[in-house]
Homo-oligomer: A and B are copies of this chain.
Amino acid sequence: MEIYVAKTAGFCFGVKRAINLATSSTKEGGNIYTLGSIIHNPQVVKELEDIGIHAKDSIDDVDEGTLIIRSHGAKYEDFEKAKEKGLRIVDATCPFVKKAQELVSRLTEEGYHVIVVGEREHPEVKGLVSYGAEDIRVVESPEELKDMPRRRKIGIVAQTTISMEKFEAVVGFCLRKAGEIKIFNTICNATTIRQKESVELARRVDCVIVVGGRNSANTRRLAEICRSIQPRTYHIEVPEEIDPAWFEDTEALAITAGASTPHWLIEKVVSEINSLCSK
């Protein structure tokens, strides 16, 4: 069986940077916390836990020490609270997310009614929203905007990992809802490139393994996209989940992974498959 590992599988720039910042922060000593899991990957969270970096769900649970802001960013209010509490802040917000937050602020100041194309419950989106006005809206499809009255100026930004198709559909609808529209395409290139490479691989193989956290939106989306090309697509978190039966009649296998999947985990998956197939 041929095994192809996607070149773009695994940690993106923002995630790599966040993990490095978190790891370095231990040098200073003291208690270290992340606000929410640093990335959506339980195995990495466990690794950090082992070196003394603890994830906390709320800023209210951290009263001293170092607070790491994860790659998804944080709410404006949480930043303010952390400053008031005198915490040492390590801002590991992905620079692309930071940019999107700034753009929400800018559009709001310039008088645009801001729309974020993204998932309302995603931590990145909750962060983005906190930089806007009261009436900022989060939608994934034009249907959700049906009740929106006509606006003079609409500003649109995207969750960095949302699909271009969803972004385009919302923009198309908004053209009918305002005379002036300012759009920042904040979709991260890394996601698009990873999805594209994975699709190309999925077309050439008869089985696809997508490695990554089940709570990782970009990994789930990657699996969805691969499945639409190759129905024999399996989303796993750890090598132990692999079922050798998947590889019966498989001549070529592709392995890809979300932006929050560490390389050591991808390598472990490859070794596990190699050892299963040599039995």
Contact = CB atoms under 8 A, between A and B. Distances in A.
Nearest to A183: B181
Interface string A28-68: 00000000000000000000000000000000000000000
B175 A168 contact: yes
Given A167-B175, A172-B172, 16 more contacts: A164-B176, A168-B172, A171-B171, A171-B172, A175-B183, A175-B185, A176-B185, A178-B185, A179-B186, A180-B183, A180-B184, A180-B185, A181-B182, A182-B182, A182-B183, A183-B183
B181 A175 contact: no
A250 B182 CA distance: 49
Contacts of A164: 175-176
Contact of A171 (B175, B178, B180, B184): B175
Contacts of A168: 172, 175
Contacts of A172: 168, 171-172
Interface of A: 164, 167-168, 171-172, 175-176, 178-186
Contact of A184 (B167, B176, B179, B186): B179
Nearest to A154: B183
A164 B173 CA distance: 10
5 closest Cβ pairs, A-B complex: A181-B183, A168-B172, A182-B182, A175-B185, A179-B185
A172 B171 CA distance: 8
Contacts of A183: 175, 180-183
A141 to B, nearest CB: 15
A102 to B, nearest CB: 13
Contacts of A175: 164, 167-168, 171, 183, 185
A183 B183 CA distance: 8
14 contacts: A164-B176, A168-B175, A171-B171, A171-B175, A172-B172, A175-B183, A176-B185, A178-B185, A180-B182, A180-B185, A181-B182, A182-B182, A182-B183, A183-B183
- Most B CB contacts (10 A, CB to CB) among A178, A184, A185 go to A185
Nearest to A168: B172
Contacts of A185: 175-176, 178-181
Contacts of A171: 171-172, 175
Nearest to A182: B182
A182 B178 CA distance: 12
A238 to B, nearest CB: 36
